[in-house]
């Protein structure tokens, strides 16, 4: 009789452990989905904000990020760190300009 009771307790414990593990997996999955939705919504909000404020995020060849006015087609950074925008692919007067690449809002 004691062995039967212990077997039932052991089985109930295993069942509870399986249920708990399944609940944890479901929670982890829901949390991952919520985080992905939040990331996507934040990116969409930031992209909309850039449109409203006529700004854009750009990077140079070293990966440095710049948030600049985005009213022209071409964006540049000088060796001294000055930024400029032009309407043509010709850099501003003077030397040392590197074209920046626009990146999606984060």
Higher-pLDDT residue of 104, 15? 15
pTM assigned to the model: 0.63
pLDDT at position 88 is 96
Phi–psi pair at 48, nearest 5 degrees: -65, -40
The alpha-helical segments, DSSP class H, found in the chain are 2-53
Q: What percent of the chain has pLDDT over 90?
A: 82
Q: What is the token pair recorded at 95?
A: 């030397």
Q: Is the pLDDT of residue 63 over 90?
A: yes
């Amino acid at each position: 009789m004691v062995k039967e009771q212990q077997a039932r307790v052991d089985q109930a414990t295993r069942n509870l452990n399986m249920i708990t593990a399944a609940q944890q997996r479901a929670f982890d999955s829901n949390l991952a989905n919520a985080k992905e939705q939040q990331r996507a919504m934040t990116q969409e909000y930031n992209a909309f904000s850039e449109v409203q404020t006529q700004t854009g995020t750009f990077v140079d060849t070293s990966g440095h990020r710049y948030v600049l006015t985005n009213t022209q087609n071409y964006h540049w950074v000088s060796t001294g760190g000055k930024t400029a925008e032009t309407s043509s692919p010709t850099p501003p007067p003077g030397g040392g300009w590197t074209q920046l690449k626009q990146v999606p809002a984060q």
